[in-house]
Amino acid sequence: MATETADTPSAPQPVSTASAVSSAAAASDAIERRAVVKRWLLSAPALVVIIGCGLMPLLIIFAYSWTKPAEYAGVIWHFQPDAWINVLFQEDLFSDALSPNWAYYSIYLRSILIALQTTMLALIIGFPTAYFIATREERSRNAWLFLITIPFWSNLLIRIYAIMMIIRDEGYLNHALLAIGAIDQPLPIIFTNYALSYGLIYAYLPLMVLPLYASLEKLDFRLVEAGYDLYASRFKVLWHVIIPLVKPGIVAGSILVFIPAIGDYIIAQILGGGKRMMLGNLIAQQFGTARNWPQGSALALTLMAVVMLALVFYATKSQRKRAA
Amino acid sequence: MTAVADTRRGRPGPRPVAAAARPKGRRFDVKTLPGFAVMAWFCVVALYTPIAVLVAYSFNDNNTVVIWTQFSVRWYGIALNDEEIRDAALLSLKVAFLASLFATTFATMAAIATTRVPNYRGLTFIYAIINQPLMVPEIVTGIATIVFFGLIRQATGIYGIGYLITAHIVFCIPFAYLPIRARLEDMDRTFENAAADLYASPWQAFRHVTFPLLVPGILGGGMLAFLVSLDDVVISVLVAGPGETTLPLYVVSQIKRGITPELNAMASMFLCASAILATLFFLLTRRKAK
Amino acid sequence: MRLQDGAELTGLPAVEAKNVTKTFGAGPDAVVALDNVSVTIGQNEFFTLLGPSGCGKTTLLRLTAGFEMPTAGSILLEGHEVAHLPPFKRPVNTVFQSYALFPHLTVAQNIGFGLKMLGRKRKVIDEAVTEMLKLVRMEPMRNRKVHQLSGGQQQRVALARALAPQPKVLLLDEPLSALDLKLRKEMQIELKRLQHETGITFIFVTHDQEEALTMSDRVAVMSRGKILQIGTPTEIYEHPVDRFVADFIGETNFIEAEVTQRIGNKGEIRLPSGIEVPRELGQHVAVGGKVTLAIRPERIDLVRPGADCHLAGKVENIVYFGTDTHFHIDLDSGGDVTVRVQNRRGHQDVLKMGDAVGLRIAPEAMQVLKD
């Protein structure tokens, strides 16, 4: 039965206790260090690509934001903080006095308000939906989740295009309404704030439903039973028992909707038609017709700062939950 | 007597007088809340209606898009024969394929390096970097990228589709990474231990045990990356050079030029393709029932 | 060479652990899984590591396999230091508690895995696989996938897989814990047979003392990172060295006694009833000191109360077990003992609750414990 097996280990080593301790510890350290190096090497390509083409560009536009705009495109490498000042203030052409930059403010306000509005509506629609799915039987649950998720992964552009086709002046909705005589003039739905809101909710609703569902699925309904047992009506149970227990899901879903909504560019362009400018459109404009790259850079970084703030807020909230 | 009879029939306890107020034979369901079912159905209907309308009208024979005359598939034929559409579709597929290939490879390597390992210095850093593209709004990434690539073009004089593909790789990596990581986390480390016990070197263990078991995750990640690249609008709009028209870019330009029926048909096909890919992804990465 | 318990060994020991310590974590949260443990395991032995969970037996096994490295000390395989070698460089194979059969491979591919990794030729692997399948009696399952097998079948495939590369040592990590009672008993016999047939050193980890006693050539009883006693099943059972070992293995009665005389190794102890008995004593007890005696329930005879017995008491409870009957006796001198009487002539209704009885114990059955 004796055949060769693995390589037989090398010659025996001295077995005094002291050297045994140090050699054992040293050997395991060395192996651990080699393992860490190997992991860094494995991650290297992904890191190089993302740092090189993801983070570097951000650093560059940060640098650009402090320069002067060039004639057509690009910048002149001359220090000029105007772009940053213009984020909040505008200079009077003649007197150099600073006054609030109302034009920009309205855009900021619209962006934030619409993003908040989108989040709220997504919550109002998404919460019951997620709740309903979470309380279905095991088998139909997967079917429901599938139904909700597939549109989300389908092309966003096409879905917005579909909405546009329906609500524009020559669109299906107006055409049908005109045909049955309910209205004489096409309803101006497209290019309004409503259209924009509708588009945003339509696009990002699944991002609210899924985290909510994840939280609701883990809900212990015995607590809800206890609530009913203690004389709470259905509404009170919802408000005082269910919602507090599902808070992590609510926060996660809200962040996931708020962030793309506030940074939106394409939906505002198609459904807003450039008349309802969001921050995203303003930024793109700086790199297009306005030819003010430093300004665009400064605004872009401001947007990024707002988004980062929201993320940090979320991260600290969930940390505190874990600590509690 | 009545109480006993009721319990025998399976109803909880004797019937109180107020039972008349409850729906006959139904227990108080802790889980239902009023109006929620309606909202859920409404939600699904609202999600699918625009899509349904779009697809329905793509079969409209009439060439003014809105008035329905009769059922026809001729716009599909025209769309499929349109050279611009074909070129755009091919380009989209090419970019998506290359981007997802690289992104999935890099993501797999990174996932292996960062999952199921004891915490080491820099692990959080790596994880944060890999997910960074998800945290920055697309418009910001887009303009930063054109600026950066513009500088590189100036410096090296190199042009070409490589820039667009690279930009796609960047945001595809996190999308490929997450499903692969999830699959890896589900894997019991004991398998690799068993392989090592049976004389497999780390590379052999990976090749014969880890990798085969990881394949569904890798396929899922690759599919997601492919899908995300195919669907990308904002970054492509900004970064693509002249003549680099992907399918979404074609749609955007057509919207400006004017809606045509073959655009409808093409849009429907594109939508279906995305939906099919998404379904495949859903099936591939479904967690096994416990 | 001689082992700790004095047994003779021929040739180099299969496995030797010298002053092995393993600590997990650092600082105040550090866990010492093994505390300066030394053990020598001979060739062709069925050696069992026995102890409650957390005692370090699995850690010692993993150190031998190579999945952990010792914080201090050395591990030797046939005299060669291996502590720094990864598992795939050690001629040692493991049967895991969860079996860890590769789900994407068939039974035959699983069994042949080790040989494939070692680079053996296809024909050699096929022959080995056939031989292994015959050994564990799983020939018809050759091309099945793992999930199609029952628990007991998976266990046998795991065994075959670990035996196929003909390792010097086979490590078994509580392999029978997932099986039902009947299957367990069958597999215990099976494992013993396999060890005899293959001549490979088996190191078996379990918390089931009955398993350890029935299967092993020698047993190491462990607790809290230390080895308390190594010996054959007989030695462990009949001469436990301390309270933990006596209590962990089988049932034991503990009686306090006082040392009245002492000359060299021999002395006299006084039982609570006043009777004095000559016993061998270790170094640590002085005259006037107290010792604990461990007495197995089946070594006590029940006799009529009166003289010529070592202890006396009253029957407090009688429990009938079919094969034997347990009598719980309240001792006159305080405390209680359990006496086990085999029902060789069927159930005898001689004693009733409350009856007075005498207990006679052979002096050799009174094991003096270390503490």
Q: Do A155 and B145 touch (CB under 8 A)?
A: no
pLDDT, greater one: A222 or A57: A57
Mean pLDDT of B170-198: 90
Residue C195 has pLDDT above 70, yes or no: yes
Q: Which domain holds residue B196?
A: 76-284
Average pLDDT, chain B: 82
Residues B34 and B97 in one domain: no
With cut-offs at 50, 70 and 90, classify the pLDDT of residue C201: very high
Greatest C-alpha distance within chain A: 101
pLDDT at position A4: 38
Provide the domain count of chain B. Answer: 2
Which candidate, B184, B277, B161, B182, places its Cα nearest to that of B225?
B277
Minimal-distance CA residue of chain A relative to B230: A155
Residue C235 has pLDDT above 60, yes or no: yes
With cut-offs at 50, 70 and 90, classify the pLDDT of residue C288: confident
Q: Do A300 and B113 touch (CB under 8 A)?
A: no
pLDDT at position A24: 64
Q: Do C84 and A7 touch (CB under 8 A)?
A: no
Which range, of A123-127, B74-78, C58-62, averages the lowest pLDDT? B74-78
Side-chain-side CA neighbours of B208 within 13 Å: the count stands at 24
Mean pLDDT of B124-135: 85
Minimal-distance CA residue of chain C relative to B206: C117
Could you give the percent of chain A with pLDDT greater than 90?
Answer: 7
pLDDT at position A10: 35
Q: For B204-246, what is each residue's pLDDT tens digit? A: 999 999 999 999 889 888 988 998 898 898 999 888 888 888 8
Q: For B30-71, what is each residue's pLDDT tens digit? A: 677 888 888 888 888 888 888 888 888 888 776 666 666 777
For residue A50, give the nearest of B34, B133, B146 by CB distance.
B133
With cut-offs at 50, 70 and 90, classify the pLDDT of residue A2: very low
First CA to last CA across chain B, in angstroms?
45
Question: Which residues in chain A touch residue C85, judged by CB atoms under 8 angstroms apart?
Answer: 9
| Radius of gyration, CA atoms only, chain C | 25
Q: For C91-116, what is each residue's pLDDT tens digit? A: 999 999 988 899 889 999 999 999 99
Contact between C161 and C131 (Cβ < 8 Å): no
Q: Do A9 and C72 touch (CB under 8 A)?
A: no
With cut-offs at 50, 70 and 90, classify the pLDDT of residue A271: confident
Say yes or no: A289 contacts chain C, CB-CB below 8 A.
Answer: no
State the best of B187, B189, B199, B211 to mutate against chain C, taking most chain C CBs within 10 Å: B199
pTM: 0.76
Identify the CATH number of the domain defined by range C251-368. Answer: 2.40.50.140
The CA distance from C144 to B234, in Å, is: 51
Residues B189 and B86 in one domain: yes
pLDDT at position A320: 63
Contact between B153 and A313 (Cβ < 8 Å): no
Question: Which residues in chain C touch residue B217, judged by CB atoms under 8 angstroms apart?
Answer: none
Residue B6 has pLDDT above 50, yes or no: no
Give the alpha-carbon dihedral of B136, B142, B143, B145, to 10 degrees: 100
The CA distance from C53 to C59, in Å, is: 11
Residues B34 and B96 in one domain: no
Q: How far is A81 from chain B (nearest CA, A)?
A: 19
Q: For B132-168, what is each residue's pLDDT tens digit? A: 888 888 889 998 998 899 888 888 888 888 899 999 9
CATH of the domain at B234: 1.10.3720.10
Class of domain A99-323: mainly alpha
Q: Do B126 and A43 touch (CB under 8 A)?
A: yes
Question: Which residues in chain A touch residue B146, judged by CB atoms under 8 angstroms apart?
Answer: 287
Residues B153 and B35 in one domain: no
pLDDT at position B18: 47
pLDDT at position C193: 92
pLDDT at position B5: 41
Say yes or no: B203 contacts chain A, CB-CB below 8 A.
Answer: no
Cβ count within 10 A of residue C22? 23
Question: In sequence order, which residues have a C-beta less than 8 Å from that of residue A218 and are 6 or more positions away?
Answer: none
Strongest mean pLDDT among A260-274, B9-23, C54-68, C299-313 = C54-68
Q: How far is A300 from chain B (nearest CA, A)?
A: 5
With cut-offs at 50, 70 and 90, classify the pLDDT of residue B75: confident
Q: How far is A310 from chain B (nearest CA, A)?
A: 10
With cut-offs at 50, 70 and 90, classify the pLDDT of residue A21: low
**Does residue B64 sit within a domain?**
no
State the best of A8, A19, A22 to mutate against chain C, taking most chain C CBs within 10 Å: A8
> Which ipTM did the prediction report?
0.79
| β strands within chain A, DSSP E | 68-69, 75-76, 89-91, 98-100
Q: Do C91 and A6 touch (CB under 8 A)?
A: yes
pLDDT at position C252: 93
Say yes or no: A181 contacts chain C, CB-CB below 8 A.
Answer: no
pLDDT, greater one: C274 or A257: A257
Average pLDDT, chain C: 89
Mean pLDDT of C189-193: 92
Could you give the percent of chain C with pLDDT greater than 70?
Answer: 96
Residue A59 has pLDDT above 60, yes or no: yes
Residues B212 and B158 in one domain: yes
Residues B157 and B259 in one domain: yes
Which range, of C181-185, C201-205, C239-243, C283-287, averages the lowest pLDDT? C283-287
**Does residue B202 sit within a domain?**
yes
Residue A198 has pLDDT above 90, yes or no: no
**Does residue B224 sit within a domain?**
yes
**Does residue B52 sit within a domain?**
no
pLDDT at position B9: 45
Average pLDDT, chain A: 81
The CA distance from A106 to A127, in Å, is: 31
Which candidate, C83, C78, C68, C77, places its Cα nearest to that of C23?
C68
pLDDT at position A8: 34
State the best of C12, C15, C62, C69 to mutate against chain A, taking most chain A CBs within 10 Å: C69
Residues B191 and B280 in one domain: yes
Class of domain C15-247: alpha beta
Mean pLDDT of C341-365: 87
Question: Which residues in chain A touch residue C165, judged by CB atoms under 8 angstroms apart?
Answer: 5-6
Q: How far is C114 from chain B (nearest CA, A)?
A: 4
